[in-house]
Structure 1
Amino acid sequence: MDRYQAMTTFLRVVDTGSFSAAARQLNVGQPAISKTIAQLENVLQVSLLTRSTHGLSPTEAGQRYYERARVAIQEADEAELAARGAGSGLRGRLRVSAATTFARLHVVPYLPRFLSEHPELDIDVILDDRTIDLVAEGVDLSLRMGSLADSTALARKLATGRRSVLATPRYLAHAGEPRAPSDLAGHEAVVYTQQANIWSFTRDGTEVSVAVHGRVRLSAAEGLRAAVLADMGLTIASDWMFAEEIANGAVQRILTNWHLPKIDLWAVFPTGRMVTAKARQFATFVEAIMAEGSEWHSGQE
């Protein structure tokens, strides 16, 4: 039994949740996948997988083996990449997590460019607005915004983005345009539940905080976008979230002579593991994408 091939097969079975899906991705027959897993379990003398109505999932022993095998495969890939030279393409599988709306607007459309540069690389993109456990989920790189909850996290700042008070012209025509932060208290706000409903502004060294109120509170950025575009109220959001609408006039910035705290974009890597070349290069790729947009500034500034 080829130990490297067996580990690769097992990782693919766990990642896909079935023998048939793993077989399709590895371009082999399903019986070959079943035989490889059986041989691996026989060598290890443990059961690695369990069946349920939801498909295949690792046993406790299988999960431990998965985590170690994934690191071993990554390190083997790193060694091979170093031997082949830095100019060669990446290969294997890269798992990236990112907030749903951010990825949909500013990452996924650019993936063909990255994949064309690395034809032997596959990418899994996990779309989730929550902060997930990178090690438990087998994620190589997470794109996160805002302050990092864990100060010990292995992270690299990729960009800094502007935030604005935003609303549609139709809403402003109906409700009037605020001229000062205090005016916001009389407006309908679309509130993102992951942010406070007290908005703080600064200008010329003066800070003003305003408690806003709204009948609609949303837990995901997709909902926030939809509510604002439906003329339901004004909101505070990162400019990247409405970049296209700001550019074409469907949404406009308000109170532009006041400043809101900026928001940082981070590449976060799993602690306790070597950062792979795949993760490093993808972080550099995203950083370059952000530099192309006017709503972002370099993370090194």
Structure 2
Amino acid sequence: MDRFQELEAFIAVVDAGGFSAAARRTGKSQPAVSKAIGALEYRLGVALFNRSTRRVTLTDQGQRYFDRMKPLLEEIEAASRELVGSTLDMSGSIRVAAATTFGRLHILPLIPDLLATFPGLEMDLVLSDAMRDMVEDRIDLAIRVGPVDEPDAVVRRVAGTPLVCVGSKSYFEKHGIPETPAELVNHNCLLYGGLRESANWPFVGPKGPFSVAVRGNLSSNSVETIRAGVLAGVGIGLFAKVSLVEELSHPDVITVLDDYVRDVRDVSFIWPKRRFVSVRVRRVTDFLAASLQTRL
């Protein structure tokens, strides 16, 4: 049997959730679909599906094979459509991951225009400050602020955002405003666990870059928590500026140590560790990148 037909049958069974549904979707008979899957499993020497009378699910080997082969099939189909001059099909789902605050402030407002531009698109937006495994969580595109430690991934820098050090008027009325970074040792510094500088904040002085070890009574892996702590007058926070677009216009929030805070964080788009990335993911990436560059 043709290997491409085997692959098409495999993808159809996964997407449709069963052999009968895949047969209806592809216009082939169920025995033909079953034969194609059997030939594929025989050729690979592994079982791709767990079969029962109620449901069909992927084995671990099947899941890994699906994660690698579906983008490849999409590339082949897209190349074929482009070759014959057909309109690019942008229907289907895409899963995008972003940090909670950044996603709420900067990605969510773009979704209406994105879906209006590509009406057949189904968007799954995953907002979490936790660093996600893109392959395991089936993330098509991740948007991150800060260093990217994934040497095998495809990384596209979109913009840069400076760091800012901020506190509330109520906090500074009680504890005073630090004039130099060294004075932070006498202040309550709120620590975001996702930053590498969570205990050592970076600054630049006349002699060059240096860091200051800071401490505080509140730390969190959520930017939202640290932002709320600053507004409540608990302490001082160090943020990427894109996370504070609302607070920086708040009358009770004050930036401090501006002459010493020079670091810039990259805003990057990341594709997972795959050889092929679907045209749909590339088109969504281009749309979001262009939109963000006008916002940041």
Q: TM-score range by the shorter chain?
A: 0.7 to 0.9
- CA shift for structure 1 position 165: 0.4
After superposition, what is the alpha-carbon deviation per residue over 1:93-113, rounded to whole angstroms, capped at 9, x for unaligned? 222222222112110121111
* 2:246 partner amino acid: E
Match of 1:141 in 2: 141
Match of 1:48 in 2: 49
SS in 1 for 2:246: helix
Q: Does 1:162 align with 2:158?
A: no
Deviation larger for 199-208 or 100-109: 199-208
SS in 1 for 2:285: helix
Match of 1:194 in 2: 194
Q: Does 1:226 align with 2:223?
A: no
Across the aligned residues of Structure 1 and Structure 2, the Cα RMSD in angstroms comes to: 3.2
Match of 1:79 in 2: 79
Match of 1:11 in 2: 15
- CA shift for structure 1 position 205: 4.5
- CA shift for structure 1 position 50: 6.8
* 1:145 partner amino acid: V
User: Where do 5+ consecutive residues of structure 1 fail to align?
Assistant: 14-18, 20-30, 297-301
Which of 243, 256, 263 pairs up with 1:254?
256
Q: 1:77 to 1:251 in 2, by over 3 A?
A: farther
Deviation larger for 129-138 or 84-93: 84-93
Q: 1:217 to 1:81 in 2, by over 3 A?
A: farther
Deviation larger for 93-102 or 124-133: 124-133
Match of 1:236 in 2: 238
Aligned partners of 2:185 and 2:58: how far apart in 1?
52
Aligned partners of 1:89 and 1:249: how far apart in 2?
48
After superposition, what is the alpha-carbon deviation per residue over 1:231-277, rounded to whole angstroms, capped at 9, x for unaligned? 21111011111111212334221111222321001111123322332
Match of 2:41 in 1: none
Alignment of 1:90-169 (within 5 A): 90-169=90-169
2:9–2:22 CA contact under 8 A, matched in 1: no
Match of 1:26 in 2: none
* 1:240 partner amino acid: V
Match of 2:217 in 1: 215
SS in 2 for 1:199: strand
Aligned partners of 1:50 and 1:229: how far apart in 2?
55
Alignment of 1:276-291 (within 5 A): 276-291=278-293
Q: 1:6 to 1:235 in 2, by over 3 A?
A: same
Aligned partners of 1:246 and 1:101: how far apart in 2?
14
1:90–1:278 CA contact under 8 A, matched in 2: yes
User: Where do 5+ consecutive residues of structure 2 fail to align?
Assistant: 39-46
Q: TM-score by structure 2 length?
A: 0.79
Which of 266, 269, 278 pairs up with 1:267?
269
* 1:222 partner amino acid: E
After superposition, what is the alpha-carbon deviation per residue over 1:134-174, rounded to whole angstroms, capped at 9, x for unaligned? 23333222112222213343211111101010112222222
* 1:212 partner amino acid: V
1:49–1:62 CA contact under 8 A, matched in 2: no
1:41–1:48 CA contact under 8 A, matched in 2: no
SS in 2 for 1:210: strand
1:178–1:254 CA contact under 8 A, matched in 2: yes
Q: 1:76 to 1:120 in 2, by over 3 A?
A: farther
After superposition, what is the alpha-carbon deviation per residue over 1:111-142, rounded to whole angstroms, capped at 9, x for unaligned? 11111101111122222323333233332221
Q: 1:42 to 1:104 in 2, by over 3 A?
A: farther
- CA shift for structure 1 position 282: 2.4
2:72–2:276 CA contact under 8 A, matched in 1: no
Aligned partners of 2:258 and 2:16: how far apart in 1?
50
- How many residue pairs get aligned? The number is 276
SS in 2 for 1:148: coil
- CA shift for structure 1 position 34: 9.8
Q: 1:61 to 1:35 in 2, by over 3 A?
A: farther
Aligned partners of 2:56 and 2:205: how far apart in 1?
57
SS in 1 for 2:247: helix
Deviation larger for 113-122 or 61-70: 61-70
Q: 1:239 to 1:189 in 2, by over 3 A?
A: same
SS in 2 for 1:126: strand
Q: TM-score by structure 1 length?
A: 0.78
